[in-house]
Amino acid sequence: MRVLGIETSCDETAVGIVENGTHVLANVIASQQEFHEKYGGVVPEVAARKHLETLPFVTREAMEKASLQYGDIDGIAVTYAPGFEAALLIGLQFAKGLALASNIPWIGVHHMEGHIYANFLDHPEYAGGPAFPFISLLVSGGHTMLVYAKSEGEYVTLGNTLDDAAGEAFDKVGRYLGLPFPGGPAIDAQAAEGDPHRIPFPWGVRDRQYDFSYSGLKTAVVNFVEKNGREGHVNGTKFSFPDLLASFQSAAVDVMVAKTLGAAKKHGVSRIAIGGGVASNSRLRREIKEKGEKEGLEILIPPAHFCTDNGAMIAAAGTWRLKAGQKSPWGLSPTSRLPLPSESR
């Protein structure tokens, strides 16, 4: 089964084509980063306009890379929630038009479910479907959440962010410190030269088992820099700018690792899957793999190009729904906020 996936929830215009839910035939992404850099964040109206301009060309390129005609496509999957409604609308309407014109079944997909299924791309052993159950840590610019994935389409959200998401905190701290947008990759690169234990920044929420909070950490960094500068001495100890970045990154990441491992232990699962743009962070990837494997857990981490928003992950998530005969109504509308299917606390 070949499924074409369309993703336009934020600032990536992305189209992917996946066979049997795992084999990626094409994955084309047009970045809008240069159009948003001067604003220090994504402007929804600009993102939507660029999706409108770019999506037909990205789709054509994906079809050419896969050497397919529309008659070879068995289904279309498209992100309809959550995200910027104006941006989602472009992808959703394009998918509807393509499905109608080519007489192809189509399905709306939850963006975060796509990030879960990114873990199984290019893994032929999962062609029959992912091995449930598992714990999934989903971290991006808009989300930081822990999910108990029970079966296909059945998820229990264990914890969520109470304020800023992790990726948002990375961007805001990066912008405050004068680093290029997006802040995550810039911080990660320079933090590699620093000591993550030099400055004891707070972990945020500790008393709510699986919830996260990054607003306080962001404020702590600002207050520290206002008092001590970007480098210098504090309590008789010298610190550098990379030390500052590494300490912030450690505080942001280590709480995710601890809570994810704790959730896996409590729910008796043997597998953890992470996803989202922040899953590209080198410390997160290293720490969760090393500590998880010490606990005897299988750790699934997508390669970096499948962590960022992409069409292949949407195609993968849509495959099992289309195989099950599911379809979305023609009146399906974009939604900025929406829980994962079967969400409960």
Residue 279 domain flag: yes
Q: pLDDT per residue over 207-239, tens digit each? A: 578 999 999 999 999 999 999 999 999 888 999
The pLDDT score that the predictor gives to residue 344 is 43
C-alpha count within 13 angstroms, C-beta hemisphere, residue 203: 14
The pLDDT score that the predictor gives to residue 43 is 85
| Collapsed DSSP state (helix, strand, coil) of residue 290 | helix
What's this model's pTM, rounded to 2 decimal places?
0.94
Place of tokens 């999910």: 147
CB 167 within 8 A of CB 309: no
| Collapsed DSSP state (helix, strand, coil) of residue 317 | helix
| Confidence class for position 206, pLDDT limits 50, 70, 90 | low
Q: Are both 145 and 245 inside the same structural domain?
A: yes
Report the domain count for the chain: 2
Residue 341 domain flag: no
CB 184 within 8 A of CB 191: no
Q: What is the mean pLDDT of residues 149-178?
A: 94
Domain harbouring 182, CATH code: 3.30.420.40
Q: pLDDT per residue over 97-111, tens digit each? A: 999 999 999 999 999
The pLDDT score that the predictor gives to residue 37 is 81
Domain of residue 138: give its range. Answer: 134-302
The pLDDT score that the predictor gives to residue 118 is 97
In which region does residue 160 sit, left (phi positive, over 0), alpha (psi from -120 to 50) or beta (all else)?
beta
Report the alpha-carbon distance of residue 70 to residue 151 in Å, rounded. 31
Q: Are both 263 and 161 inside the same structural domain?
A: yes
How high is the mean pLDDT of the chain? 94
The residue ranking higher by pLDDT, 196 or 208, is 196
Q: pLDDT per residue over 99-145, tens digit each? A: 999 999 999 999 999 999 999 999 999 888 888 999 999 999 889 99
Residue 336 domain flag: no
